Amino acid sequence: MNELLPTSTAGSLPKPSWLAEPEKLWSPWKLEGEELVAGKQDALRLAVEDQRQAGITIVGDGEQTRQHFVTTFIEHLSGVDFEKRETVRIRNRYDASVPTVVGAVSRPKPVFVDDAAYLRAQTDQPIKWTLPGPMTMIDTLYDAHYKSREKLAWEFAQILNQEARELEAAGVDIIQFDEPAFNVFFDEANDWGIATLEKAAEGLKCETAVHICYGYGIKANTDWKKTLGSEWRQYEETFPNLQKSKIDIISLECHHSHVPMDLIELIRGKKVMVGAIDVASETVETPEEVADTLRKALQFVDADKLYPSTNCGMAPLSRGIARGKLNALGAGAAIVRKELADA
Ligand SMILES: [Zn+2]
């Protein structure tokens, strides 16, 4: 990146109310057919414009073309039956009715590549595209075929790698894999989760990131967080192996969370997307609060490796609040950028 402290969001932004019901996950589309295609593109352009106005450096699509960060990708694969549903416990936290893996999984055609090319055409800024990570994908399914979480994860890693290579060819600068499951299944993450993630990123020349968080600000997540005690040390379990991995950037939650900031030291040498915006609160941060979080992070990450970001996606928030938080992120990073330039 040319600019110091390049800002970006973790991924999702709220959708306009004419496209999908606001402040809700898995919200159904309000349009159909060609109108839906055009509506998604209009929403993507608005998301890009909001990021431009906020001075965000690395632009994303705000995930405007997908209903959910994991499900929409899986919907495009064969081998998964969305009619055949089973109730499973997601990330050991909440029950959800999920589709069933009924046969060998494969990707008959590209999933997000046209959307990424559309985003590429909207901006000259660097762009980032998010995909679910293999372990988070298997955790959102009932597997009646492979009957092995590890085996299914390797299959998904292969599919993700096909998609990622085509996204790179479409002009994506950073491909980010979302792996909130790394904060729950530590043994599996270390045994094969990080290895499958590296497989998903294999051979890419663009930068790669992994986003590990404590989830959206929805009730199941906030209830879970109450059980984690006063210090959240989950990152400690996977960071040593992630530090040794081939992934370039680690995206983590910082602001207002109970994560001790010195855990960032465990990934010294990596670029770090530091969450300086709390997505579980409707209070809009001040630029000074954002700057303060970034200054603290600078104790553990070199300035040229600090990427200010949000703790997680902002999909469930209102558009006004999300826009306020975007502006605070841009302005807060600008304060610290100036301090570094003056120093
Ligand atoms: Zn997240």
pLDDT along the chain (343 residues), means of 10: 92 96 87 97 98 98 93 95 91 86 98 98 98 96 96 98 98 97 95 98 98 86 86 92 98 89 95 96 97 97 97 95 98 98 91
Q: Is the pTM of this model over 0.85?
A: yes
Cα of 343 vs centre of ligand 1, distance in Å, is 33
CA–CA gap between residue 135 and residue 184 (Å, rounded): 11
Q: What is the pLDDT of residue 222?
A: 84
User: Who contacts 169 (Cβ-Cβ below 8 Å, separation ≥6)?
Assistant: none
Cα of 85 vs centre of ligand 1, distance in Å, is 25
Q: What are phi and psi of 102, to 5 degrees?
A: -110, -10
Name the 3-class secondary structure at 165.
Answer: helix
Burial 304-314, CB ≥16 within 10 A → b, else e: ebbbbbbbbbb
Say how many CA atoms lie within 13 Å of 50 toward its Cβ: 28
Total Cβ atoms within 10 A of residue 241: 16
User: Could you give the angle at which helices 113-122 and 149-169 cross, rounded to 10 degrees?
Assistant: 40
Cα of 148 vs centre of ligand 1, distance in Å, is 25
* Alpha helices, H only, 201-260: 219-226, 235-244
Q: What is the pLDDT of residue 25?
A: 79
User: Can you count the helices (H) and strands (E) in the chain?
Assistant: 11, 9
User: Who contacts 305 (Cβ-Cβ below 8 Å, separation ≥6)?
Assistant: 269, 270, 271, 272
Cα of 252 vs centre of ligand 1, distance in Å, is 8
Cα of 213 vs centre of ligand 1, distance in Å, is 5
Cα of 311 vs centre of ligand 1, distance in Å, is 7
CA–CA gap between residue 143 and residue 5 (Å, rounded): 42
